[in-house]
Amino acid sequence: MILAIIKCRFLTLLRDRVSLLLVFVLPIIFYAIFAGIFGGMGDGGKIGTGILALIVDQDDTPQSRALTKALKHAGNGLRVSTTWTKNDVSHPWTLERARKQVMQSDAEAAIVLPKGMGISFTGDHLPVVQVLVDPSNPIAGTMVPGLLQQAAMIGMRSDMIRSGMNQLEFWSGELTPKQREAMDRIETLMSQETDTDVETTETSGAASTHGMLLPVKVEDAAARDTGGAARSMTVYYAAGIGVMFLLFSLAGASGAILDDKEAGILDRMFFTPLGIPRLIIANWMWLTILAVNSMIILFLFATLVFEFGPWTWPRLIAWLVLTIIASSAAAALAMLLAAICTTRAQLAGISTIVILAMSAVGGSMIPRFIMPPAILDISWYVSFNAWAVEGYLDIFWYTPQEAIFATIFSRLAPILGVLIGMTVVFLIIARLLARRWEQA
Amino acid sequence: MSVPALSVKGARRAFASTRALDDVSLDIATSQRVALLGPNGAGKTTLIRSIAGLTKLDAGAIELAGAPATSRTRRQLGLVPQDLAVHDRMTASENLHFFGRLHMVGSKTLRKRVQWALDWTALTERQDDLAGTFSGGMKRRLNIACGVLHEPNLVLLDEPTVGVDPQSRERIHGMLAALHEHGTSWILTTHMMDEAARNVDRIIVIDHGRIIADGTLDSLIADQFGEHRAIRVTVDSIPASPPTSWRITSGSAGSPGGLERDLTSLDAVTSTLDELKAGGVRITGLEVYAPTLQDVFLNLTGRELRE
- Of the pLDDT bands very low, low, confident and very high (cuts 50, 70, 90), residue A436 is confident
Q: pLDDT tens-digit profile of A341-358?
A: 988 888 988 899 899 889
Interchain contact, A268 vs B81, CB within 8 Å: yes
Question: CA distances (Å), A241 to each of A41, A252, A385, A398, B20, in order?
Answer: 16, 16, 10, 19, 51
Interchain contact, A272 vs B102, CB within 8 Å: yes
Per DSSP, the residues of B23-56 read: EEEEEE-TT-EEEEE--TTSSHHHHHHHHHTSS-
- The side-by-side arrangement of strands in the sheet containing B247-250 is B247-250, B257-263, B229-235, B283-289
Q: Check CB contact of B130 with chain A, cutoff 8 Å.
A: yes
Over residues B171-191, mean pLDDT:
91
- Of the pLDDT bands very low, low, confident and very high (cuts 50, 70, 90), residue A254 is very high
ipTM of the complex: 0.81
User: Which residues face A218 on adjacent strands?
Assistant: A131
Q: Check CB contact of B267 with chain A, cutoff 8 Å.
A: no
Q: pLDDT tens-digit profile of B86-115?
A: 999 999 999 999 999 999 999 999 999 999
- Of the pLDDT bands very low, low, confident and very high (cuts 50, 70, 90), residue A387 is very high
Q: pLDDT tens-digit profile of A408-433?
A: 888 899 999 999 999 999 999 999 99
Residue A423's pLDDT is 96
Strands B67-68 and B210-215: unpaired
A207, pLDDT greater than 50 = no
Nearest to B75 among A15, A264, A273 (CB): A273
Furthest-apart CA atoms within chain B: distance in Å: 79
**Model's pTM, two decimal places?**
0.71
The more confidently predicted of residues A306 and A181 is A306
Q: Choosing among A268, A435, A436, A437, which should be mutated to test the B contact, i.e. which has the most B CBs within 10 A?
A: A268
* Exposure string for B98-107, b = 16+ CB within 10 A, e = fewer: bbbbbbebee
A44, pLDDT greater than 60 = no
Rg (CA), chain B: 24
Residue A46's pLDDT is 37
Interchain contact, B54 vs A274, CB within 8 Å: no
Over residues A133-151, mean pLDDT:
75
B45, pLDDT greater than 70 = yes
Q: pLDDT tens-digit profile of B225-279?
A: 887 788 999 999 998 888 888 889 999 888 999 999 888 777 888 888 888 888 8
Q: Choosing among B45, B86, B95, B101, which should be mutated to test the A contact, i.e. which has the most A CBs within 10 A?
A: B101
Interchain contact, B97 vs A275, CB within 8 Å: no
A309, pLDDT greater than 90 = no
Interchain contact, A268 vs B94, CB within 8 Å: no
Provide the mean pLDDT of chain A.
80
A208, pLDDT greater than 80 = no
A64, pLDDT greater than 70 = yes
Residue A419's pLDDT is 96
Query: Residue A134: helix, strand or coil by DSSP?
Result: coil
φ, ψ at B149 (rounded to 5°): -60, -30
User: In angstroms, rounded to a whole number, what is the distance separating the alpha carbons of residues A106 and A126?
Assistant: 30
- Of the pLDDT bands very low, low, confident and very high (cuts 50, 70, 90), residue A157 is low
Residue A47's pLDDT is 36
Positive or negative, the CA dihedral B118, B123, B126, B130 is: negative
Chain A residues with CB inside 8 Å of B83's CB?
Answer: 263-265, 267
Residue A122's pLDDT is 56
A22, pLDDT greater than 70 = yes
Q: Check CB contact of B261 with chain A, cutoff 8 Å.
A: no
